[in-house]
Every structure is written in structure tokens, then in C-alpha cells.
Structure 1
């Protein structure tokens, strides 16, 4: 399938900017302060969920001024399963998790089924604690369980088709510095 780059450019040109780059920076500063207060001194292992978590990690990790290890994982959910560890692992966690404090970084908590399954897997592998941090918490009631939230959330954003700051539109615009909503969605 060939991508029409004009469509990709048009999507950005017509998009609604919901969160400016400056507001994203302020949210990252808040996240860093909250994560530091909770996890500094715990020698955390930070797992970045690819591909969406890449931008968040690149912008957040330099704000965490304490010792930590960084690794990545890449998983998606099989089909539309609503529970359990039905993950398609592209890159599995490779570090020994026994007794470790783990922080999972991802771009967005939408419905949360994949994040929930990743957290369950890390706990089954022996992590002492598993925390989650997302830049965006999408406002809606379709979460993996009622009231689901990441331990650390930067911004609550409307239930629209979002891109920027790690979230993509057809594989593009993860690099956009703000958070945008596709026109009409």
C-alpha cells in the first residue's frame, strides 16, 4: 500500500492543535517531578514501549536526574482480546526483572488493553513493582477496566484521533511537537 504524502501533509495542515508544544513541555516537567518523587532511589528499570513511547522517552528521561536503566519492548495485542496476556511480542523484555522496580513509558493510554497486558507480564516475570507513565490519557469510558489510569499521566485529552508527541497518523507525524486531532475525528 502506497502512502499519499500529500494526504499526510494535508492531515497536519487541517488538524486541530489540542495541546501546544509549550503545554507538552510543562506536562513533561510535571511528569518528571512526580516520577522523581516516587522512584528516585529505587534503581528503576525503564521500559519504553515502541514505537509510541520513543518520543516521550527522549523528552522525559533527561528530566529524570537519578540513576536508572533504560530498555525497550515492542508488543501489540492479538486481535480484539479484552483480557489476559494475548500479546504479539515483537521485542520481549530481556532484563532480569526479579525484585526490580519497573517504569513503563508509553505515549497514550487509550483503551489500555495492551498496557494492562504488558504490566501483567512484567509482574509475572518477577518485577517487584511496575509503574506506568503516559504523556496522554484519552478521556472516555472504554478503558480495560473502569477508572483505569496510568500511575503518571501528563495530559488528559479529548477522545479524538490524536497524533504528535509519539502518536502517529498512518505512521507519520510522531515527531510533531504538540498534540493534534485529525479534522472531523
Structure 2
């Protein structure tokens, strides 16, 4: 990425509206961990992290889950650095067999629902015994797929969001909170 894009991203961050600060996000992650523990402890689940957005949440969630589990990842994207989603592209499928497993998909955001619905369908096609979904942010927008997350950390309006795994043109995933681009309505 160019220095100009990095400067643009920094300017976007400086002008953005903080919707959920770091303490609020951490409290939501702890609440999610309790819900997951109550539901999946004792089921030997496989946590499946969609790259790249889910990596920050997964990294924060894993140490809070005090039971045996396995972890793997999948890389399917509709964005590829763009601000709006396109056709789903599969880059990496899980190396762990999903057959007979309880799978928990851990992702950053549920917006239009196309990517998460495709991931759920993939897990079912691979023979998963059960598929659960967890998202840090449920964006209140028009869904293009019929799906709701089983575990939701926070809600946010239909704006372009970044931080805590969500990006702005490939940058700002590392921002310790959930921010909305100033004046921007999402086009995802």
C-alpha cells in the first residue's frame, strides 16, 4: 500500500466517530466468551476464524475460553481492500475436517450477511454437526441473506465501520475501538 493511502487512513481515523470505546469492546468480548462457554463447553468445538477481519476478535476471545477446543481459519472475501463488497472469492479453506464437529464461526461484523451465510453453508456441506456464529458487531442494515448471528457483542448503525479487526482500505484494523467514518453511510 502507498504512503498516500496510509495518510488517508490516518486522516479518516482522526475525523471518525467512536461508536464503542476499547473498554466497551473488551466487555462485549468477555460477555461473548461467557455465552460461548455456556453453549459449547464440553462439545470439543472448532473455532473457525474468517481472515482477515475476524483475527483480532479471535485473538481476544480465545484466552477467555477455558475448555478444550481447536482453532482453524478460512479466507473468503467480498472486499479485497475495497469499500464495498463484490463477488465472494474463496482463498483458503480450513485444513481441519469439519465433519461431525460443532463449529463456531468467529467474525468481526455481520452486515449484509452474504459472507457469513456462505460460511455457514460451507460448514454444513462439510458435514458439521452444528454451526454457530459469533460476531463482534451486528450492523443494523438491510440483509441480503437470511441470517442472524447466534452471539452478538455490539450493535452499530449502517455506516462504514473500522477498528478491532474491521478495516478502512486495508488499514485501521488495529484501532482499539469501533469507529464510523465521518459522514459516510456504508455501501456494503
SS at match of 1:60: helix
Residues 1-185 of structure 1 mapped to structure 2, 5 A cutoff: 2-4=2-4, 5-77=6-78, 80=86, 87-145=88-146, 148-185=147-184
Q: Which runs of 4+ in 1 moved over 3 A?
A: 77-81
- Taking a change above 3 Å as real, the CA distance of residues 63 and 174 of structure 1, as seen in their structure-2 partners, is same
Deviation at 1:77, TM superposition (A): 4.4
Deviation at 1:133, TM superposition (A): 0.5
C-alpha distance in 2 between matches for 1:16 and 1:160: 10
What residue number does 1:84 align with? none
CA RMSD of aligned residues (A): 1.6
Deviation at 1:76, TM superposition (A): 2.1
Deviation at 1:62, TM superposition (A): 0.6
C-alpha distance in 1 between matches for 2:16 and 2:138: 19
Deviation at 1:3, TM superposition (A): 5.0
TM-score (norm. length: structure 1): 0.91
Deviation at 1:94, TM superposition (A): 1.8
C-alpha distance in 1 between matches for 2:17 and 2:139: 16
* Structure 1: segments with no counterpart, 5+ residues: 82-86
C-alpha distance in 1 between matches for 2:13 and 2:77: 26
The size of the alignment, in residue pairs, is 178
C-alpha distance in 1 between matches for 2:23 and 2:144: 28
Deviation at 1:142, TM superposition (A): 2.8
SS at match of 1:184: strand
Alpha-carbon deviations, 1:119-153, whole Å to 9, x = none?
A: 101111110001010100001223412xx321101
Q: Higher mean Cα deviation, 4-13 or 18-27? A: 4-13
C-alpha distance in 1 between matches for 2:30 and 2:150: 16
C-alpha distance in 2 between matches for 1:111 and 1:74: 18
